[in-house]
Amino acid sequence: MSSDLDPNSELPTPATDSGEPPASDAETSLSTVENGGAMSDPFSFELQASQVVTDQAVAAASENAVEDLEVKDAQIIFNTVWEDLENEIGHENLRFSKELILLGGAPGSGKGTNSEFISKVRGLTCPPIIVSDLLNTPEAQRIKEAGGMVGDTEVVGILFRKLLQPAYRDGCILDGFPRTRVQVECLHLLIQKMNQLYREYHTTPLAINFRKPTVHAVVLFIDERTSIERQLLRGRKIAAHNERVVLEGAGQEIELRPTDLDPIAAKRRYRVFKEKTWDALQSLKQIYHYHFIDADGSIEEVEQKIRVELDYQSSLELDPETYDAVRGLPLATELGVHARQELVRRLDSYQLEHGELFHAVIDIIEERFMPIIQRHAIAGLAVINSEDTIFEDPLTLAMVIDVFAERGFRGVANINFAETPDHFDLKTGKITCRTKKIFRFQVRFEGSEIRRGGR
C-alpha cells in the first residue's frame, strides 16, 4: 500500500502528492451507488402512486395476488356486501364518494389529530369517517379493547353502508381504512364497481351521481417508540379530561381505549399494525395517489409536511403516462426515514463479514484522512486524493462513505483517470501515456465560523 495521500490537498483543484492534476472527464461517482442499498422489509420502498384509477391498474393489482386465498376471501366478502346493498337500496342508488382520502398510519401517528386539517386542505365539509368508531358491536368492542382487529366482513359491510350517506357524496376521509390486505382488495373491487357505474350512467341524467372516483392514500409514519408514547399520552389526556367532567359535572366524557392506558397493549397494537396493516398500505402505491408523511415532529411540523405533500402532488398534474414512468422511483422523503437504520445495518455487516478490510479502511481514515479534514475545519469541506490500491475494491469506497456518515460527515467518492506522459519516442515523436487511477473523496461537514476580532 503506498502512502500517497495529499496532506496539502486544497480546494478547488485538489492535487495528488505527485502534483499531477487528477481530474479527467471520465469521472465515475460511486457515492450514490454505494450508499443507496435496497431497504429491507417491512419498510421497503416500492412503487409510487398513479394518477388515474383505471380498471386495468386495479385488475393488474388483483391479478398479481390471484393465487392468494385472501383475495378469494375478499371477493366473497365484497360480493356478499354488494349484493345485499343492491337488494336493499337498489342498483341506481349505489352512489359512493367521488373522492376517497384513505388516512392510514400506526396508532398514535396523528390520524385523528390531522384529519380536520386535511379536510380543510381538500375542501371537504363532512366529518371524517373514523372506521374503528363504526365498529360498536359487543364482539367488535371486545376485540378492539384487546388491541386486535375486527373481522373484514363486518368492517366492509358497515363502511360501505356509511359511505352511501349523501353527506359523503363529494368526498370523505376514511380514518383507518384499509387495515388489511383483504380490505385493500375490497377497496379495489369497490373502485372497479364505481368505474362500471360511471360508464353505465355517464350519458344519462344520473351521471352526476356516478363520477369517476379518485383515491388518495395519506400514510403517516412514526416508529414504535413514538407510537406507544403517543397512545399513552392520549390515554392520559382523555383520563384527565374525563375526571374533570365528573368533578365539575359539566362537559362530555370521551371514550377511553383501554390500550391507551397499558404500555403492553399499546405495543401490541403497534405490532398488529406493523404485521397486518403496513404492507396493505404500501400496496396502495401501485394504484392510487400516495402521500407518505414522516409524522415525527410537532403537530405544526407534521401539518406543514402534509400541506407541502398535498400541494406538491396536486400542483403536478402530470399526464398519467408520464407519472407512470417515474412512479417506480422512491420518494426522497421515504429514503430519509430509514436511512439511519440502513446505515447501521451496513456498518454492522462490514464488521461481521469483512472485519479485516473494514479495520484497514478505518485505519486509513484515522491516520491519513482525519489530519487533512481537521485542517479544513473552518471551511467544512475537504478533498482528499488517494492512489491506494485498497480502494480498487468498491466495497472499501462504500465503507469510507458509511463511516463518514456515521460520524456526521457527508462523504462522496469519485474515481478519476489521469493520463500522464510515460514515454516519448524521439524518432516518431509519439508520446505514450499511462493511465493512473486516483480515488478522490470529498468530505463535507458543518464548518466552524470564526470571525476576525474587532479592531
What residue ranges bind ligand ADP (CB under 6 A)? 105, 107-113, 230, 233-234, 237, 297-299, 302
In the complex, minimum distance from the CB of residue 44 to ligand ADP, in angstroms, rounded to a whole number: 22
Q: 7: which residues sit within 8 A by CB, 6+ positions away? A: 371, 372
Whole-angstrom Cα distance, residue 22 to residue 393?
19
- Residue 176 sits at the vertex; the CA angle it makes with 123 and 239, to the nearest 5 degrees, is 100
Nearer to ligand ADP, 98 or 144 (CB): 144
In the complex, the smallest distance separating the C-beta of residue 225 from ligand ADP, rounded to whole angstroms, is: 13
Question: In whole angstroms, how close is the CB of 154 to ligand ADP at the nearest point?
Answer: 20
- C-alpha atoms less than 13 angstroms from C-alpha of 416 in its C-beta half-sphere: 24
* Eight-class DSSP state of 330: P
Nearer residue to ligand ADP within complex by CB, 188 or 305: 305
Task: Say if CB 95 and CB 167 are below 8 A apart.
Answer: no
CB of 270 to ligand ADP, least distance (A): 10
Amino acid 148 reads G
N-terminal to C-terminal alpha carbon distance within the chain: 50
Q: In terms of CB distance, is 158 or 302 closer to ligand ADP?
A: 302
The DSSP line for 2-58 is -----TT--SSS---TT------S--EE-HHHHH-PPPPTTS-------SS--HHHH
Looking at the Cβ atoms of 21 and 148, the one nearer to ligand ADP is 148
Write down the least CB distance from residue 238 to ligand ADP, Å.
8
Round to whole Å and give the CA distance between 193 and 6: 68
State which residue, 297 or 380, has the beta carbon closest to ligand ADP.
Answer: 297
- For the CB of residue 301, give the shortest distance to ligand ADP in the complex, in Å: 7
Least gap, CB of 111 to ligand ADP (angstroms): 3
Residues near 60 by Cβ (< 8 Å), separated by ≥ 6? none
Cα-atom radius of gyration of the chain, to the nearest Å? 29
CB of 299 to ligand ADP, least distance (A): 4
Residue whose CB is less far from ligand ADP, 222 or 415: 222
CA–CA gap between residue 31 and residue 425 (Å, rounded): 40
- Nearest to ligand ADP of 298, 315 (CB atom): 298
Question: Looking at beta carbons only, is 232 or 331 nearer to ligand ADP?
Answer: 232
Tell me the one-letter amino acid at 175: D
CB of 220 to ligand ADP, least distance (A): 7
Query: Do 315 and 121 meet the contact criterion of CB atoms below 8 Å apart?
Result: no
Nearer to ligand ADP, 116 or 348 (CB): 116
- Each as own residue / partner, the long-range contacts of residues 192-197 (CB below 8 Å, 24 or more positions apart, any chain) are 192/55, 192/58, 192/59, 193/82, 193/94, 194/96, 195/53, 195/54, 195/55, 195/58, 197/94
Contact by Cβ (8 Å): 35, 410: no
Q: Are strands 214-221 and 99-105 parallel, antiparallel or unpaired?
A: parallel
In sequence order, what are the beta bridge partners of 103? 175, 218
> Could you say which DSSP state residue 390 is in?
G
3-state helix, strand, coil in the chain (%, to 5): 50, 15, 35
Place of cell 431497504: 39
Least Å from the CB of residue 249 to ligand ADP: 25
Asked if 34 and 398 touch (Cβ cutoff 8 Å), the reply is yes
**Nearer to ligand ADP (CB atom), residue 270 or residue 445:** 270
Least distance between ligand ADP and beta carbon 232 (Å) = 9
Cβ nearer to ligand ADP, comparing 145 with 392:
145
